């Protein structure tokens, strides 16, 4: 079995455990058995149990970001007018808040929360995160040149705000009392985004 396949199998086995019951329930013995290898192989590839856990978190985060790219593409479509750009923007926010994306939002909350006390993982997440939003930032910058969004908007910081606040929806979906909060939660979000980007008119 090629070495990279071994690492992949360990990662897959660990991902499955973490996704179904959380990192606290991950047992090295169980992982090596599922992957069909001996424990030293795991340590060679990931250093320690902690190294494996962090690799899984990073992999899940990357996967989630890749999925998000298709949502971001909604905004990158060529718009012929301010109205068209606005409807693309609405579609983006609505898609990001889609009930079907609930699990992905929760994954993001889980990974970021787990990374808070892990400096190396934090740094890696910071690096990949910035590059993901380039597409949206570019689309906003182009729209600004056309005069479709307010000149005062700073695209990078607006996107940082709009994307990071989605963690709030994840938290409310998981911890809140409302069974399906996305509908109203996103209503406030859309209104705020519209006012900031387009002003009230």
Element (H, E) at 87: helix 82-96
Size of interface with other proteins, in residues (CB under 8 A): 57
Nearer to other proteins, 66 or 178 (CB): 178
Nearer to other proteins, 5 or 120 (CB): 120
Q: How far apart are CA 3 and CA 135, in angstroms?
A: 35
Of 11, 14, 112, 136, the one binding other proteins by CB under 8 A: 112
Nearer to other proteins, 36 or 47 (CB): 47
Of 72, 85, 89, 158, the one binding other proteins by CB under 8 A: 158
> What Å distances lie between residue 182 and 71, 74, 162, 175, CA to CA?
17, 20, 15, 13
**Contact between 148 and other proteins per CB under 8 A:** no
> Which residues have C-beta within 8 Å of that of residue 195, sequence separation ≥ 6?
none
Please say whether the beta carbons of 11 and 56 come within 8 A.
yes
**Contact between 46 and other proteins per CB under 8 A:** no
**Contact between 161 and other proteins per CB under 8 A:** yes
């Amino acid at each position: 079995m090629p070495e990279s396949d071994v690492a992949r199998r360990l990662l897959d086995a660990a991902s499955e455990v973490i996704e179904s019951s959380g990192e606290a329930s991950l047992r090295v013995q169980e992982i090596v058995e599922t992957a069909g290898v001996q424990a030293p192989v795991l340590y060679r590839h990931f250093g320690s149990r902690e190294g494996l856990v962090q690799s899984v978190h990073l992999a899940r985060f990357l996967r989630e970001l890749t999925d998000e790219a298709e949502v971001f593409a909604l905004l990158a479509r060529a718009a012929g007018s301010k109205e068209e750009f606005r409807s693309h923007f609405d579609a983006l926010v609505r898609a990001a808040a889609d009930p079907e994306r609930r699990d992905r939002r929760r994954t993001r909350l889980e990974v970021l929360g787990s990374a808070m006390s892990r400096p190396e993982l934090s740094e890696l997440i910071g690096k990949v995160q910035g590059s993901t939003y380039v597409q949206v930032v570019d689309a906003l910058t182009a729209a600004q040149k056309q005069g479709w969004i307010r000149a005062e908007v700073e695209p990078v910081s607006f996107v940082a705000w709009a994307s990071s606040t989605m963690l709030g929806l994840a938290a409310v979906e998981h911890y809140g009392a409302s069974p399906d909060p996305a509908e109203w939660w996103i209503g406030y979000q859309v209104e705020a985004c519209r006012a900031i980007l387009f002003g009230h008119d």
